[in-house]
A and B are shown apart, each in its own frame.
Chain A
């Protein structure tokens, strides 16, 4: 199964990057979200999949799935949520101010 999820993570990366390279601002944010999904799945796959029960201690159970990648992913989800929402609002403001969401037209000023 790890091979299948690796392929899925790769696919999420590929679609994310394809969206990232588009001109529309929305597509770029979609792309970053897809990439972060891919990264989370990647971390989960790297710790082995499905080797026991959820890591909540219960009497009589010795096999649990690895808790460390889960903690890492949880941190990562929250951080990527923070950045994604900031990015969204930034993109929204940019599109409103410049009246375009085309990256080809957003090129800064001449003398930067």
Chain B
């Protein structure tokens, strides 16, 4: 089982070589082996006496993250869909994609996706699940953008990436919370601890985050907007990813976690509302489309909404119907996408307004389309599987559990009507699809190519899927006990015994189906008359518009904000840094009551010191007001020499010496540099700037004074200089303690201070010597 998940990835490593060496043979023929092998491996699990299988390989045991794969009925349903439809899609793509395309890329992405999808449905570890989940997003992104020279493809790929990765990250948040709350990373253990989760304070947050992931991935309202744009992908990709597998990953997630949340009323409310809204909106919008694949995209959205709603209902019949419909939808939607691809391939257009009357040219394709669409519409014929799941759906909407919240009871009342409403439009777009393409007038002159029947190889896959529709339709109980029942049991947690019959008698779901067919048929015939309603709802409003607006604002608003403070002015940056430091320090000082002042332990004040200090203060202030450069430099010298005198007074002979020498050199350097500069006019400061500058400067200076006084007033321990004074001669062999510290006790400081001087000297040397003129040389 683990090998089956990684087999496509392993094979993908060799695909580029195969595609180069075997240029004469289509690469897809080699790839085809992989999904068939996986399908054959998993099909042997089908049977009435199925029991779950677990396999584990340790990956990061210290974090509890292991490659644990768990195969139960639900996973089995999905792996069979993934590998089965995967095989058919690969077969179809052999005929659909020409050998001149970059086939190596295509099949690498497709195999990557297949492995990722198998990983998603088989993972028992939440973090492994997330890893595969994101891998499906990435490979889907690559596949949508397969024709990357096409601007629409790039747009669609980016859109699906942004939306699904947004959801994926939300889901990661939910999964992390779940694993923190339950202290396990295994989904099965979490299900066993569902009471812990249900009684946790984080429950609403967990549910929201998980459902965000599921809703974005499964294109639920209002996150459905990426799916129609993903139709820019090659048709095999649309058939595989965007109808049968990836868009059901969100469904799978909800189904997988529904044993935990079942019985939590808000789970029912949220999932049902979003599901029903998606069902209605998707089917309503599908009738408006003119592109074949766009019709199918909105149809997929709507059907996914229906499945989601049934999972939300959570009753036994609803779960059974949901699982059954996952299978049915995969069969008819896969075949319909392939039909759309054939029509596109053989006529050169997918625009339904240009198509028509193709029945005589493409009888086989038309027949396949007829079965697919009628099954999708839920027309009551005994050989169409769509009808069974739709009737079970109606049945489920009529038997919802009453809840404690008023909103629940309101939903229970209106859901049957909304279900019928959505189904009517499903019926309309199904007929619109099949009769718009194959019925009506022939318009051959408008078509880019002369239409003819597709090659037999291209027809094999849709034929197999349509046979699936008919077989399930004729013998629904064939897949029931062996297959669907296990999956439904995995979702609901209890065994569901349910027989599927075509004829139930004259009960309400049957009348609902009749109403759908009747009203739908009338609406289909009068479509031209009421289509104006789309000008009113949604009119000019679209969720795409919201998405585009958000994206452009996310681009412009931050750049505007950044431009307000990243002006390139160093003054502004310095002011911002200093005021931030000032505010944080002042805040800390106030919050901790840091300011203390004590007049004990102060050195006495003498007249000499006061005189020196006064001179320094006056000189420092004078640097600001000095008009000429030279005078400012000389006044600066006064401050430096004053400091040297202070060093003398405070018994620091070495400091005084160094300070005197260095001050002299510095002043000389200042004069050297700026006396010889060309006459530059000193810029005038604006008064406003002067004021803020003064405010920042005074504030900062005052803060430093306060810190100095406070620090001096609260000394917590004695100095360690006793040690230096005692051992200076004994250990260091010197009388001058400062020098002994510099070269002996803390010699490393001195070493690097020498390095600093050396680097400065080298830098100055190169600055002066290196006279390259603005990049020219």
Contacts and interface: CB of A to CB of B under 8 A. Distances in A.
Interface in A20-38: 20-24, 26-27, 29-30, 33-34, 37-38
A23 to B, nearest CB: 5
B659 A85 contact: no
B728 A2 contact: no
B760 interface: yes
Interface residues of A, number: 86
A50 B649 CA distance: 8
Contact of B683 (A24, A29, A68, A97): A24
B737 A34 contact: no
B629 to A, nearest CB: 6
Contact of A9 (B574, B696, B708): B708
Contact of A2 (B603, B761, B768): B603
Instruction: Give the most central of A41, A48, A74, A103: most B CB within 10 Å.
Output: A74
Contacts of B479: none
Interface in B673-707: 673-674, 677-678, 680, 682-683, 685, 689, 693-694, 696-698, 700-706
Interface centre among A8, A24, A91, A102 (most CB of B within 10 A): A8
Given A6-B705, A57-B728, A85-B666, A34 B738 contact: no
A17 B756 contact: no
Given A34-B620, A52-B651, A68-B724, A18 B729 contact: no
B674 A92 contact: yes
A13 B749 CA distance: 25
B353 to A, nearest CB: 48
B640 interface: yes
Interface in A25-72: 26-27, 29-30, 33-34, 37-38, 40-42, 44-58, 64-68, 70-71
B620 A55 contact: no
Q: Taking each of A14, A16, A92, which has the highest tally of chain B beta carbons within 10 Å of its own beta carbon? A: A14
Contact of B742 (A20, A71, A93): A71
Contacts, number: 276
B678 A89 contact: no
Interface residues of B, number: 97
Contact of A10 (B633, B701, B721): B701
A82 B757 contact: yes
Contacts of B702: 10, 14
B571 A82 contact: no
B735 to A, nearest CB: 4
A29 B738 contact: no
A7 B614 CA distance: 11
Interface in B622-662: 623-624, 629, 632-633, 636, 639-640, 643, 646-647, 649-655, 658-659, 662
A56 B753 contact: no
B609 A66 contact: no
A48 B728 CA distance: 20
Given A12-B620, A86-B764, A92-B674, A57 B729 contact: yes
A33 B720 contact: no
B738 A74 contact: yes
B602 A2 contact: yes
B738 A19 contact: no
Interface in A78-93: 78-79, 81-86, 88-93
A13 B704 contact: yes
A32 B251 CA distance: 64
Contact of B670 (A18, A29, A65, A108): A29
Nearest to B682: A24
B384 to A, nearest CB: 63
B629 A83 contact: no
A23 B708 contact: no
A99 B646 CA distance: 40
Contact of B741 (A40, A67, A92): A67
A14 B651 contact: no
Interface string B575-609: 10010000000000000000001000111110001
B724 A67 contact: yes
Given A6-B705, A15-B620, A77-B659, A66 B721 contact: yes
Contact of B643 (A37, A51, A66, A108): A37
A24 to B, nearest CB: 5
A17 B742 contact: no
A53 B613 CA distance: 21
B685 A22 contact: yes
A51 B650 CA distance: 9
Nearest to B646: A41
A91 B610 CA distance: 35
B705 A18 contact: no
B712 to A, nearest CB: 5
A91 B578 CA distance: 22
A18 B742 contact: no
A19 to B, nearest CB: 6
A14 B700 contact: yes
B616 interface: yes
A100 B705 contact: no
A49 B603 contact: yes
Given A30-B633, A34-B620, A73-B655, A7 B705 contact: yes
A95 B571 CA distance: 17
9 contacts: A3-B712, A12-B639, A23-B685, A50-B604, A73-B655, A79-B753, A83-B756, A92-B673, A107-B568
Given A8-B616, A67-B724, A78-B753, 19 more contacts: A3-B712, A4-B605, A6-B708, A10-B705, A10-B706, A12-B616, A20-B574, A22-B685, A23-B685, A37-B639, A50-B651, A54-B653, A55-B725, A67-B728, A70-B652, A85-B669, A103-B571, A104-B683, A107-B568
